[in-house]
Amino acid sequence: MKILVCISHVPDTTSKINFVENNTKFDTAGVQFIIGPYDDYALARAIELKESSGATVTVLNVGLAETEPTIRKALAIGADDAIRVNAHPTDSYFVATQIAEHAKGYDLILMGRESIDYNTGVVHSMVGEMLGLPSVSPVMKLDIDGTTVKMQREIEGGKESVEATLPLVAGCQEPIAEWKIPNMRGIMSARTKPLNVVEPKAVDAAVQFQKYELPPPKGAVKMISEDNVAELVTLLKNEAKVL
């Protein structure tokens, strides 16, 4: 079985979000970049499947050269090889088009339910539609039995059991697998694993980015004594008007 895991290269979850150049560029100063947390779950499940059933795992990232340390980390975690589509991931349609271009021939195409920068949660579904494959998201459990894939999908207030056959696209989230931390041997071997850089397919832009905005700053907190809980209720009613 051939598994493709698509990973995003995103700011660490503790990053301060700021913008520069008239709010048109993300401020990378002091920011650590990581494999998207949801993509990391997808990768962890792929590695489990590799260990249990001898699958091969390829990771794919759409990004410029700066994303290579993130890709190498995925290789250190256990992926066999990698593809970097050499382009800035401008929007979900662009990224989905690039993934679809390289996903043919894979049995299982995994990625996170959403990237934590744009949070659109649509790339897996777009790729599925582009390739005419079933796509399921957000998947919290995924088991393969022959060509049947049994999954659990989270829905509002519960979960659904879903079945489909390979090939298939899935957007993953916890608890599909536990995040894996690369060990020393993994880190050493990642250096020599193949990382193929390919040029992007030309795409007619579906959307044109204009600028970023930050929300207005939050006002100061009002502290209330634990002996005067009734005052909180009054404030919630009359001041905040939320009760």
Partner 1 sequence: MAILVFIESAEGKIKKTSLEAVAYAHAMGDKVSAIALGTVDKGELEAVGKYGAAKVLSVADERLNQGVIKAYASVLAQAMEAEGADTLVLANSSLGTPVAASVAIKVNASLASNAVELPNTSGGFVVKQSIYTGKAFALVDMKKQKKVIGIKKNAVELKEVGGNAEVAAFSANLSDADFATKITNTEKATGEILLPEAEIVVSGGRGMKGPEHWGMLEDLAKELGAATGCSKPVSDIGWRPHHEHVGQTGVKVAPQLYIAIGISGAIQHLAGVNSSKCIVVINKDPEAPFFKAADYGIVGDAFTVVPKLTEAIKAGK
Ligand X SMILES: Cc1cc2nc3c(=O)[nH]c(=O)nc-3n(C[C@H](O)[C@H](O)[C@H](O)COP(=O)(O)OP(=O)(O)OC[C@H]3O[C@@H](n4cnc5c(N)ncnc54)[C@H](O)[C@@H]3O)c2cc1C
128 interface partner picked from ligand X, partner 1, none, CB below 5 to 8 A per type: partner 1
Residue 158 CB, shortest distance to partner 1, in Å, is 3
Q: In the stretch 6-35, what mask flags binding to ligand X with x, by CB under 6 A? A: -------x----------------------
Nearest approach, Cβ of 37 to ligand X (angstroms)? Answer: 4
Residue nearer to partner 1 on the CB measure, 54 or 175: 175
Binding mask 203-222 for partner 1 (x = CB under 8 A): --xxxxxxxxxxx--xx-xx
Q: How many residues does the chain have?
A: 243
Return d(Cα 60, Cα 100) in angstroms, integer: 11
Which of 64, 118 has the CB closer to partner 1? 118
Tokens 């100061």, located at residue: 220
How far, in Å, CA of 80 to CA of 23, rounded?
39
The whole-angstrom separation of Cα 215 and Cα 105 is: 44
User: How far is 83 from 190, CA to CA, in rounded Å?
Assistant: 13
Residue (37 or 78) nearer to ligand X, CB:
37
Asked if 167 touches partner 1 (CB under 8 A), the answer is: no
Place of tokens 């079985």: 1
Q: Are 177 and 41 in contact (CB under 8 A)?
A: yes
Cα angle: 121, vertex 68, 183; to 5 degrees: 95
How far apart are CB 189 and partner 1 at their closest, in Å?
A: 29
Count interface residues toward ligand X (CB under 6 A). 2
**DSSP label of 65:** G
Considering only residues 176 through 205, tell me which ones interact with partner 1, judged by CB under 8 A.
205
Q: Restricting to residues 36-95, name those near ligand X by CB under 6 A.
A: 37
Stretch of residues binding partner 1 (CB under 8 A), selected from 1-9, 47-55, 67-75, 158-166: 158-166
**Rounded distance, CA 40 to CA 58, Å?**
13
Q: Which residues bind ligand X (CB under 6 A)?
A: 13, 37
